[in-house]
Structure 1
Amino acid sequence: MTDANLAYLYLLLLLFPLVLLVVLYLIARPRPVRVPIKNRHVFITGGSSGIGLALAHRAASEGARVSILARSIAKLEAAKQEILLATGIDVAVFAADVRDYDALSRAVEEAGPIDVLVVNQGVFVPQELERQGLDEVKFMLDVNLMGAFNMVKAALPAIKLQRRERGPGSIALMSSQAETKIRPQLTSIIAASSGAMKADEVAKRALNGIKSGSFIIPCNFEGLLLSVATAGLSPQRSFLMAFVEIVAAGITRFAALCFQWNWYGSIEKWHAKQHFGGGFKVIESLLGDNQRN
């Protein structure tokens, strides 16, 4: 290859990222949008504790009109007083089960037009499937999946009402890795590769992402890797983030394989420990029987 050809190749390599950025700027959809929080109605499910309560705190402190929904009226009232003492803002509370569509519809009608809906409720009954009852699986699906459908469907009329006059709105679906104290030991070992975050920090990042109109809002490095690796056909408002997703697709696949290599190693060690421990207990039992005989 001649020097001229090499120079031409280098020029193409240098121009390619710039051309790609220009193309992505033209085709990335939907367009960027800001979703204001101040003086607007933020409705949060699962708002009486955890991330939901932290979100309510932060939204209230930024001047939003906040409504929180949960099943327990006692927890809701406690959360209301906590937010009032911390921010001076009086939030509205609604006691309803997200599995009950009619109850959600009544709550939304009473709450009034909604600008930002945060579907944050969630339950997790951690257990190996062979030991778990199907009623527990159904309970999780009813609350986490059908509860989200119920809430969004019930709130849509209140969200769409006079939307043009009220400005851009948002619907956010939350997920988390909570309940570490009761999940199986092996699950905790695998999840140890992902750093835990405090509810306040998650709430801060989530609300900032909502305000920026982001489609996916990762809260830590593992979440960012996961969002890049699974971008697929998901929308992307930021042409810069679209560039990162394209360039890093192969790298994130390699990172995922590294995570899995670590997980498989942890699983093998756990199983080996369980088998060794089980054998040791059998030996102890046999020795005890021999001593008694």
Structure 2
Amino acid sequence: MAALSFLSLLLILLLLPLCLLLLLSLIVRPRPVKIPLKNRHVFITGGSSGIGLALAHRAAAEGARVSILARSPDKLEEAKRAIRLATGIDVATFSADVRDFDALRRAAEEAGPVDLLLVNQGVVVAEELAKQGLDEVRFVIDVNLIGGFNMIKAFLPAMKARTDRRPASIALVSSQAGQVGIYGYTAYSASKFGLRGLAEALQQEVIADDIHVSLVFPPDTDTPGLAEENKRRPLLTSVIAGSSGAMKVDEVAEKALNGIKSGSFIVPCNFEGYLLAIVTAGLSPQRSYVMAFVEVVSASILRLTALFFQWNWYSSIEKWHAQSKQQL
């Protein structure tokens, strides 16, 4: 009798995960999709350097027709030469500020229909809000968040009216600081958190047009922008943000483009990013029922892990302030 009860319990334990997987396979939305790149038009903002340039290299190497947009004509020409030298392919360049909607609308008209719009521009001005001027706060939000709205608003009409009816994509490059608030990143985190709300609502609005939204969450990445940021980044910001480590720009570009091509809504770039994606999943779309299973099963333990991270961060902050008071 005891053996029978044990077998029954074992059978139930085995069936529960299978039943959950079956349920998730029926309810996850949107459905899985693949975004082809070859012979399609990829338009990348912030494409003259850093992650944007690496994405342009990779997309061109995969046979896409690539356009890049940035503010500096000189940097755009330099990027164009570098991509031609590496891939033998010419890219189109557009000089515009993402804060200028009229300039973006003209660029959209000149570029023609886009199959993958990669909204990658971003600026970081790391400083405690008490010390930071509101002009800098507005600058960060205008470039990172309002610039995203401007780009999508300018390019979306032609994307919706495209004659190539294969699946298309709008990808937004956020940051791990867009998944969790970090000391010294009040303006930056706010701008990058905002992209998530934009992406989640936008996906519902464009799914009927077979347009699929991706949200990329890179950690610190070895780019000229990071080097510039580090010149004034508060020490506590480095202590907290540094726990995830920095990635090479080509690694981030590879992870990002692979996630976009698979239609993933959340695209993490490293192990910590995967953990953050799971613990912050909330009501975000999920195409993979396997990943949905991982999210459901691991939610409690990862929440506990997140609380340990918060404990560590706040302990670092308390220690820092205690040492500062002793030095006074």
Asked if Structure 1 and Structure 2 have the same fold, meaning a TM-score greater than 0.5 normalized by the shorter chain, the answer is yes
- CA offset at residue 225 of structure 1? 1.2
- The DSSP-based 3-state class of the residue aligned with 1:66 is strand
Residue matched to 2:174? 175
- CA offset at residue 239 of structure 1? 0.6
The answer for unaligned runs of 5 or more in structure 1 is: 279-293
Mapping of residues 192-207 of structure 1, within 5 Å: 192-207=242-257
Kindly provide the CA deviation profile for residues 31-55 of structure 1, in whole angstroms up to 9, marking residues without a partner as x.
Answer: 1111011111000001111000100
Q: Give, as a single letter, the amino acid of the residue that structure 2 aligns with 1:170.
A: S
- The DSSP-based 3-state class of the residue aligned with 1:109 is helix
Residue matched to 2:20? 20
Kindly provide the CA deviation profile for residues 197-224 of structure 1, in whole angstroms up to 9, marking residues without a partner as x.
Answer: 1111000000000111101100011211
Kindly provide the CA deviation profile for residues 213-266 of structure 1, in whole angstroms up to 9, marking residues without a partner as x.
Answer: 101100011211111111111111111000001011111101111211221222
Residue matched to 1:33? 33
- The DSSP-based 3-state class of the residue aligned with 1:217 is strand
Q: CA separation in 2, counterparts of 1:50 and 1:276?
A: 41
Q: Give, as a single letter, the amino acid of the residue that structure 1 aligns with 2:275.
A: L
TM-score by length of 2: 0.81
Q: CA separation in 1, counterparts of 2:20 and 2:65?
A: 42
* Aligned mate of 1:244, from 287, 294, 308: 294
Q: CA separation in 2, counterparts of 1:126 and 1:162?
A: 40
Q: Give, as a single letter, the amino acid of the residue that structure 2 aligns with 1:44.
A: I
Q: Give, as a single letter, the amino acid of the residue that structure 1 aligns with 2:327.
A: G
Are 1:190 and 2:228 matched, yes or no? no
Kindly provide the CA deviation profile for residues 56-106 of structure 1, in whole angstroms up to 9, marking residues without a partner as x.
Answer: 011011111000001111111111111111111100000111111111010
Kindly provide the CA deviation profile for residues 150-171 of structure 1, in whole angstroms up to 9, marking residues without a partner as x.
Answer: 10111101211235x3300000
Mapping of residues 223-238 of structure 1, within 5 Å: 223-238=273-288
Q: CA separation in 2, counterparts of 1:190 and 1:180?
A: 13
TM-score by length of 1: 0.91
Size of the aligned set, in residue pairs, is: 277
Residue matched to 1:77? 77
- The DSSP-based 3-state class of the residue aligned with 2:130 is helix
Mapping of residues 53-68 of structure 1, within 5 Å: 53-68=53-68
Q: CA RMSD in A?
A: 1.4
Mapping of residues 52-131 of structure 1, within 5 Å: 52-131=52-131
Residue matched to 1:281? none
User: Looking at CA atoms only, which structure, 1 or 2, has the larger radius of gyration?
Assistant: 1
Q: CA separation in 2, counterparts of 1:87 and 1:17?
A: 47
Q: CA separation in 2, counterparts of 1:182 and 1:55?
A: 27
Q: CA separation in 2, counterparts of 1:143 and 1:272?
A: 36
Residue matched to 1:291? none
- The DSSP-based 3-state class of the residue aligned with 2:266 is coil
Residue matched to 2:46? 46
Q: CA separation in 2, counterparts of 1:232 and 1:144?
A: 23
Q: CA separation in 2, counterparts of 1:84 and 1:277?
A: 55
Q: CA separation in 1, counterparts of 2:114 and 2:48?
A: 19
Q: Give, as a single letter, the amino acid of the residue that structure 2 aligns with 1:123.
A: V
Q: Give, as a single letter, the amino acid of the residue that structure 1 aligns with 2:94.
A: F
Q: CA separation in 2, counterparts of 1:94 and 1:251?
A: 47
Q: CA separation in 2, counterparts of 1:70 and 1:162?
A: 24
Q: Identity over the aligned pairs, expressed in percent?
A: 70
Q: CA separation in 2, counterparts of 1:241 and 1:78?
A: 40
Q: CA separation in 2, counterparts of 1:36 and 1:65?
A: 12
Q: CA separation in 2, counterparts of 1:193 and 1:258?
A: 13
Q: CA separation in 2, counterparts of 1:166 and 1:181?
A: 47
- CA offset at residue 108 of structure 1? 0.9
Residue matched to 2:307? 257
Kindly provide the CA deviation profile for residues 5-54 of structure 1, in whole angstroms up to 9, marking residues without a partner as x.
Answer: 34322221111001111111111111111101111100000111100010
